[in-house]
Protein backbone atom coordinates (compact mmCIF):
# COMPACT_ATOMS: atom_id res chain seq x y z
CA UNK A 1 0.00 0.00 0.00
CA UNK A 2 0.95 3.63 -0.32
CA UNK A 3 0.92 4.43 3.36
CA UNK A 4 1.12 2.89 6.82
CA UNK A 5 -1.93 0.76 7.44
CA UNK A 6 -3.30 -0.05 10.87
CA UNK A 7 -6.08 -2.43 11.77
CA UNK A 8 -8.58 -2.44 13.22
CA UNK A 9 -9.32 1.28 13.17
CA UNK A 10 -11.54 0.84 16.21
CA UNK A 11 -11.63 -1.91 18.82
CA UNK A 12 -14.02 -2.23 21.72
CA UNK A 13 -13.23 -4.96 24.20
CA UNK A 14 -14.14 -6.08 27.68
CA UNK A 15 -11.77 -5.72 30.59
CA UNK A 16 -9.63 -8.81 30.93
CA UNK A 17 -9.70 -9.78 27.27
CA UNK A 18 -6.61 -9.89 25.05
CA UNK A 19 -6.34 -7.68 21.97
CA UNK A 20 -4.03 -7.67 19.00
CA UNK A 21 -3.31 -4.54 16.99
CA UNK A 22 -1.72 -4.72 13.58
CA UNK A 23 0.56 -2.36 11.69
CA UNK A 24 1.58 -2.73 8.06
CA UNK A 25 4.40 -0.26 7.32
CA UNK A 26 5.34 1.30 4.02
CA UNK A 27 7.15 -1.23 1.88
CA UNK A 28 10.90 -1.03 2.38
CA UNK A 29 10.75 0.90 5.63
CA UNK A 30 13.00 -0.87 8.11
CA UNK A 31 12.19 1.14 11.23
CA UNK A 32 8.77 0.77 12.85
CA UNK A 33 7.44 2.60 15.91
CA UNK A 34 4.51 2.15 18.26
CA UNK A 35 3.13 5.04 20.29
CA UNK A 36 0.13 5.42 22.57
CA UNK A 37 -1.93 8.58 22.86
CA UNK A 38 -4.53 9.08 25.56
CA UNK A 39 -7.32 11.58 24.97
CA UNK A 40 -5.93 15.09 24.62
CA UNK A 41 -2.42 13.99 25.54
CA UNK A 42 0.92 13.68 23.80
CA UNK A 43 2.43 10.58 22.26
CA UNK A 44 3.86 8.04 24.65
CA UNK A 45 6.70 6.00 23.16
CA UNK A 46 6.13 2.26 23.49
CA UNK A 47 8.66 0.40 21.33
CA UNK A 48 10.52 0.57 18.07
CA UNK A 49 11.87 -2.06 15.70
CA UNK A 50 14.87 -1.98 13.45
CA UNK A 51 14.14 -4.82 11.09
CA UNK A 52 12.75 -7.62 13.26
CA UNK A 53 14.64 -6.68 16.41
CA UNK A 54 13.48 -4.28 19.09
CA UNK A 55 16.52 -2.43 20.51
CA UNK A 56 14.40 -0.54 23.00
CA UNK A 57 11.38 -1.99 24.79
CA UNK A 58 11.60 0.38 27.71
CA UNK A 59 8.39 2.18 26.85
CA UNK A 60 6.11 -0.82 27.21
CA UNK A 61 3.91 0.04 30.24
CA UNK A 62 3.79 -3.44 31.75
CA UNK A 63 4.44 -7.10 31.00
CA UNK A 64 0.89 -7.31 29.64
CA UNK A 65 2.20 -5.50 26.56
CA UNK A 66 4.26 -7.22 23.92
CA UNK A 67 5.12 -6.59 20.30
CA UNK A 68 6.67 -8.51 17.49
CA UNK A 69 7.64 -7.95 13.92
CA UNK A 70 8.15 -10.64 11.35
CA UNK A 71 9.78 -10.57 7.95
CA UNK A 72 10.84 -6.99 8.54
CA UNK A 73 7.33 -5.90 7.69
CA UNK A 74 4.08 -6.35 9.62
CA UNK A 75 4.09 -5.75 13.36
CA UNK A 76 1.56 -6.73 15.99
CA UNK A 77 1.10 -5.14 19.38
CA UNK A 78 -0.59 -7.46 21.86
CA UNK A 79 -2.20 -6.37 25.10
CA UNK A 80 -3.13 -9.17 27.46
CA UNK A 81 -5.78 -8.93 30.16
CA UNK A 82 -6.77 -5.43 29.08
CA UNK A 83 -7.54 -2.81 31.69
CA UNK A 84 -9.60 0.37 31.36
CA UNK A 85 -6.45 2.49 31.53
CA UNK A 86 -5.29 0.82 28.31
CA UNK A 87 -7.99 2.77 26.44
CA UNK A 88 -6.21 5.07 24.01
CA UNK A 89 -5.28 5.55 20.37
CA UNK A 90 -2.37 3.32 19.39
CA UNK A 91 -0.31 4.84 16.59
CA UNK A 92 2.20 3.12 14.37
CA UNK A 93 4.84 4.84 12.24
CA UNK A 94 7.61 3.73 9.92
CA UNK A 95 10.69 5.31 8.39
CA UNK A 96 13.13 4.59 5.59
CA UNK A 97 16.35 2.61 6.07
CA UNK A 98 19.06 4.55 7.82
CA UNK A 99 16.78 7.47 8.44
CA UNK A 100 14.85 8.51 11.50
CA UNK A 101 14.29 11.86 9.93
CA UNK A 102 10.72 11.53 8.82
CA UNK A 103 8.14 9.25 10.32
CA UNK A 104 5.10 8.22 8.32
CA UNK A 105 2.12 7.54 10.55
CA UNK A 106 -0.88 5.31 10.20
CA UNK A 107 -4.34 6.50 11.23
CA UNK A 108 -4.19 4.62 14.50
CA UNK A 109 -6.34 2.12 16.36
CA UNK A 110 -8.81 3.53 18.86
CA UNK A 111 -8.96 1.00 21.69
CA UNK A 112 -11.81 1.19 24.17
CA UNK A 113 -11.79 -1.15 27.16
CA UNK A 114 -15.14 -1.38 28.89
CA UNK B 1 8.99 9.64 29.50
CA UNK B 2 8.57 12.90 27.65
CA UNK B 3 11.60 14.47 26.03
CA UNK B 4 9.98 17.57 24.58
CA UNK B 5 7.65 20.00 26.21
CA UNK B 6 5.63 22.34 24.02
CA UNK B 7 4.50 25.73 25.14
CA UNK B 8 1.80 26.94 25.22
CA UNK B 9 -0.48 23.93 25.69
CA UNK B 10 -3.22 25.72 23.77
CA UNK B 11 -3.31 28.79 21.55
CA UNK B 12 -6.19 30.63 19.89
CA UNK B 13 -5.52 33.37 17.34
CA UNK B 14 -7.38 35.22 14.64
CA UNK B 15 -7.08 34.07 11.06
CA UNK B 16 -4.27 35.93 9.35
CA UNK B 17 -2.19 36.35 12.51
CA UNK B 18 1.07 34.56 13.15
CA UNK B 19 1.24 31.61 15.55
CA UNK B 20 4.33 30.77 17.55
CA UNK B 21 4.85 27.53 19.46
CA UNK B 22 7.87 26.58 21.51
CA UNK B 23 9.49 23.28 22.38
CA UNK B 24 12.06 22.53 25.06
CA UNK B 25 13.94 19.27 25.34
CA UNK B 26 16.33 17.65 27.79
CA UNK B 27 19.10 15.69 26.06
CA UNK B 28 21.49 16.24 23.16
CA UNK B 29 19.92 15.69 19.78
CA UNK B 30 20.90 15.15 16.16
CA UNK B 31 17.74 16.73 14.83
CA UNK B 32 14.36 18.07 15.87
CA UNK B 33 11.15 17.63 13.92
CA UNK B 34 7.71 19.22 14.00
CA UNK B 35 4.53 17.30 13.22
CA UNK B 36 0.88 18.24 12.87
CA UNK B 37 -2.08 16.14 14.00
CA UNK B 38 -5.64 16.66 12.90
CA UNK B 39 -8.57 15.04 14.70
CA UNK B 40 -6.47 12.97 17.09
CA UNK B 41 -5.26 10.45 14.54
CA UNK B 42 -2.15 10.12 12.37
CA UNK B 43 0.58 12.75 12.48
CA UNK B 44 2.03 14.47 9.44
CA UNK B 45 5.66 15.53 9.22
CA UNK B 46 6.10 19.28 8.71
CA UNK B 47 9.76 20.15 8.93
CA UNK B 48 13.10 18.94 10.31
CA UNK B 49 15.99 21.01 11.59
CA UNK B 50 19.41 19.54 12.29
CA UNK B 51 21.48 20.28 15.37
CA UNK B 52 23.98 22.32 13.33
CA UNK B 53 21.24 24.53 11.85
CA UNK B 54 19.75 27.57 13.52
CA UNK B 55 16.82 28.40 11.27
CA UNK B 56 14.84 26.74 8.51
CA UNK B 57 11.93 27.78 6.33
CA UNK B 58 9.27 25.84 4.47
CA UNK B 59 6.43 27.81 2.92
CA UNK B 60 4.64 29.61 5.77
CA UNK B 61 6.64 27.69 8.38
CA UNK B 62 9.74 28.95 10.10
CA UNK B 63 11.62 26.84 12.62
CA UNK B 64 14.46 27.94 14.87
CA UNK B 65 16.73 25.85 17.04
CA UNK B 66 18.88 26.95 19.97
CA UNK B 67 20.91 23.98 21.13
CA UNK B 68 22.49 25.96 23.99
CA UNK B 69 19.03 26.49 25.46
CA UNK B 70 17.71 23.14 24.22
CA UNK B 71 14.73 24.83 22.65
CA UNK B 72 13.01 25.25 19.31
CA UNK B 73 10.20 27.40 18.01
CA UNK B 74 7.72 26.90 15.19
CA UNK B 75 6.23 30.00 13.57
CA UNK B 76 3.25 29.75 11.25
CA UNK B 77 2.74 32.98 9.36
CA UNK B 78 -0.57 34.29 7.98
CA UNK B 79 -2.57 31.55 9.70
CA UNK B 80 -5.56 29.92 8.03
CA UNK B 81 -8.53 27.98 9.35
CA UNK B 82 -6.93 24.80 7.98
CA UNK B 83 -3.98 25.30 10.35
CA UNK B 84 -6.23 24.38 13.28
CA UNK B 85 -4.59 21.25 14.67
CA UNK B 86 -2.23 19.98 17.35
CA UNK B 87 1.48 20.51 16.79
CA UNK B 88 4.19 18.31 18.26
CA UNK B 89 7.94 18.52 18.39
CA UNK B 90 9.94 15.30 18.23
CA UNK B 91 13.57 14.62 19.07
CA UNK B 92 15.90 11.70 18.56
CA UNK B 93 17.07 10.87 22.09
CA UNK B 94 19.37 8.35 20.43
CA UNK B 95 19.56 6.83 16.99
CA UNK B 96 16.14 5.68 15.87
CA UNK B 97 14.35 6.44 19.14
CA UNK B 98 12.02 9.37 18.47
CA UNK B 99 10.28 10.96 21.43
CA UNK B 100 7.39 13.41 21.12
CA UNK B 101 6.30 16.25 23.34
CA UNK B 102 2.82 16.81 24.70
CA UNK B 103 1.81 19.16 21.89
CA UNK B 104 0.26 22.57 21.39
CA UNK B 105 -3.40 22.76 20.39
CA UNK B 106 -3.77 25.59 17.89
CA UNK B 107 -7.18 27.03 17.10
CA UNK B 108 -7.59 29.57 14.32
CA UNK B 109 -10.60 31.82 14.81
CA UNK B 110 -12.48 33.05 11.73
B35 touches chain A (CB under 8 A): yes
The alpha carbons of chain B give a radius of gyration, in whole angstroms, of 13
Residues 6+ apart with CB under 8 A from B82: B108
- Cα atoms in the Cβ-side hemisphere of radius 13 Å centred on B8: 9
Q: Each residue of B32-91: pLDDT tens digit?
A: 999 999 976 789 999 999 999 999 999 999 999 999 999 999 999 999 999 999 999 999
List, for residues A68-109, the tens digit of each pLDDT value: 998 889 999 999 999 999 999 999 999 987 666 789 999 999
Show residues of chain B in contact with A55, CB under 8 Å.
Answer: 96-97
Sign of torsion, CA A9 A12 A29 A58?
positive
Most confident of A34-43, A46-55, B71-80: B71-80
Name which CATH class applies to A5-108.
mainly beta
Domain boundary assignment for chain B: 5-109
Residue B79, classified by CB atoms within 10 Å of its CB into exposed (0-12), middle (13-18) or buried (19+), is: buried
CA dist., res. B77 & res. B56, Å (int): 14
Exposed (0-12), middle (13-18) or buried (19+): which is B1, by Cβ within 10 Å? Answer: exposed
Mean pLDDT across the stretch A62-73?
Answer: 93
Going through A5-58 in order, the beta strands assigned E by DSSP cover 5-7, 10-13, 19-24, 31-37, 43-50, 53-56
Domain segments of chain A: what residues? Answer: 5-108
The verdict on a CB contact (< 8 Å) between B42 and A108 is yes
How many residue pairs bridge chain A and chain B with CB atoms within 8 Å of each other?
59
Q: Which CATH architecture has domain B5-109?
A: Sandwich (2.60)
- Please give the pLDDT value at position A76: 98
Q: How far apart are CA A95 and CA A101, in angstroms?
A: 8
pLDDT at position A1 is 53
Cβ separation B96–A55 shorter than 8 A: yes
In this predicted structure, the answer to whether residue A111 has a pLDDT above a threshold of 70 is: yes
Could you tell me which residue, A45 or B7, shows the higher pLDDT?
A45
Question: Is residue B87 within 8 angstroms of chain A, CB to CB?
Answer: no
Amino acid sequence: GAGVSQSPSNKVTEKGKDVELRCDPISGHTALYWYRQSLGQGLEFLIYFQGNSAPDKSGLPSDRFSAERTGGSVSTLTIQRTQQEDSAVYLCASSRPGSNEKLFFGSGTQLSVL
Amino acid sequence: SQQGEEDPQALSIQEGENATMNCSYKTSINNLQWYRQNSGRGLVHLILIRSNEREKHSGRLRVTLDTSKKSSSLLITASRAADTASYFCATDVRRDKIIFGKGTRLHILP
